[in-house]
Amino acid sequence: MNWMLRRPIVAGATLGLGWGIVMRFWMRFISGSPEFSWSGTGFILLAATIVGAMLGLARKRRNAGGVGWWRMSILSLMLLGAGGAVMWPSVVFGAVAIGRPRPVWLRSLLGVAAVGAQVPVVQQSILGESTLDAVGAVLAVGWYAPMLAIEAWAFSVVFAPAVDGAP
């Protein structure tokens, strides 16, 4: 754990790769007719690793006293237009809710919005169009929700204030 604090970019890339691997398995699990390709898997894992490294850089800058919304524009480019775009509203709302300490009422509202934005996605994509049985559907949603929460937590660094006492 100590190496993660000393090397946040490497830690971010490693955690991003791990997140990408787990999400790739989830995609395979929910697919009705799974088709594997190295190029598709490579793109998913590379994108997750790069985003993780960039979030590690953002965390490093935050710990050094830097803050700024400019990071969001850079990080957001990697998610737009991809299959993960349906998660975008929940990631942003959740990241702001987690990253900003005040006002509490706004954090609560954004948290509700983050969950609410996924209701149609879960209802249509996972439960509606899926070939999963009832147990598989519960597993798919139970797998998806924490992975989405982890992504929102990771992106919360973008919205968090600078660390007190940072140089």
CA distance 123 to 132: 13
**Average of pLDDT values for 65-94?**
68
Instruction: Please check whether residue 165 lies inside any domain of the structure.
Output: no
Can you spell out the DSSP letters for 94-150?
Answer: HHHHHH----HHHHHHHHHHHHHTTHHHIIIIIIIS----HHHHHHHHHHHHHHHHH
Q: How many independent structural domains does the chain possess?
A: 1
Q: Return the pLDDT at 140.
A: 85
How many Cβ atoms are within 10 Å of 158's Cβ, its own excluded? 25
pLDDT in tens, 110-159: 999 999 999 988 888 777 777 778 888 888 888 889 998 998 998 888 88
- Does the pLDDT of residue 76 top 70, yes or no? no
Instruction: Please check whether residue 164 lies inside any domain of the structure.
Output: no
Instruction: Please check whether residue 125 lies inside any domain of the structure.
Output: yes
Among residues of the chain, what percentage have pLDDT more than 90?
Answer: 22
Please give the residue range of the domain that contains residue 6: 2-158
Q: What is the pTM of this model?
A: 0.80
Instruction: Please check whether residue 104 lies inside any domain of the structure.
Output: yes
- Does the pLDDT of residue 77 top 80, yes or no? no
